[in-house]
Amino acid sequence: MKELPAADHDDASFRLQSLPHVHLVKVEWLKPHEAIVSIDHVEALLAATLAWGAYVRPLLVDIKTGAILDGHHRHRVAQLLQLHQLPCVLVDYLSDTSIMVEHWQGGVVDKQQVIDMALSAHVFPPKTSRHSMTVDSLGRIAVPLSLLRQPAPFTGVYSNHPLKRPNADNPQLTSGTSQVWAC
């Protein structure tokens, strides 16, 4: 198995305390709002995901609509792998002031336009929106593909409880009986 990417921060305890919760979300509920940049990037990400045997970064998703804010290429990889669920950080996009959106080329795009596009049958061109958060990072994780291939064990569109991040006593992240770990 390929070595997982390095963590974003040297101080693991700080990193774990400051990271947002990660939930498993049904792939079919997720809604892209912009086209992907290139099929080459998708193919490279697919190869890396298969080599790692896991998803190493969660998607950023609006909790009310399923709009993908960050992670369109990871979503496409999930579709190609026919995964049933994905690790996501869920946010209340329209009211969360820690999340900002801007247009990549200096144009104008706002949060409501992003949601409206995700809920429509269309998508913006690639790199229309750029999202930033005041949280340093969504964090690196490692959620095994074997878990993501399973049908979701929850009845709603996302898990009721977040995945448990590791701590000093429990170095692995867990979801039920499946092992999930942070990097």
Q: Pick from 179, 165, 161, 172: which is nearest to 17 by CA?
A: 165
> How far apart (Å, rounded) are the C-alpha atoms in residues 29 and 67?
9
> How far apart (Å, rounded) are the C-alpha atoms in residues 117 and 136?
27
- Asked whether 133 and 99 are in contact (CB, 8 A), the reply is yes
- Asked whether 63 and 90 are in contact (CB, 8 A), the reply is yes
21 within a domain of the structure (yes/no): yes
83 within a domain of the structure (yes/no): yes
SS3 at position 36: coil
User: Given this model, what pLDDT does residue 120 score?
Assistant: 97
7 within a domain of the structure (yes/no): no
Structural domain of residue 169, as residue ranges? Answer: 12-182
3 within a domain of the structure (yes/no): no
Helices 72-80/39-52 angle, 10° precision = 70
pLDDT per residue as tens, the chain (183 positions): 444 444 443 444 334 445 688 999 999 999 999 999 889 999 999 999 999 999 999 999 999 999 999 999 999 999 999 999 999 999 999 999 888 898 878 788 999 999 999 999 999 999 889 888 755 466 678 899 999 999 999 999 999 888 876 654 554 444 443 444 443
- The enclosing domain of 117 has a CATH number of 3.90.1530.10
User: Given this model, what pLDDT does residue 98 score?
Assistant: 86
User: Given this model, what pLDDT does residue 137 score?
Assistant: 62
Q: Are strands 85-91 and 59-62 parallel, antiparallel or unpaired?
A: parallel
For residue 48, what are the β-bridge partners? none
- Asked whether 136 and 147 are in contact (CB, 8 A), the reply is no
6 within a domain of the structure (yes/no): no
Report the length, in residues, of the chain.
183
- Provide the number of structural domains found in the chain: 1
4 within a domain of the structure (yes/no): no
Report residue 175: phi and psi, to 5°: -140, 100
| Range list of H helices, 25-170 | 39-52, 72-80, 111-119, 145-148
User: Given this model, what pLDDT does residue 65 score?
Assistant: 98
5 within a domain of the structure (yes/no): no
> How far apart (Å, rounded) are the C-alpha atoms in residues 128 and 95?
21
62 within a domain of the structure (yes/no): yes
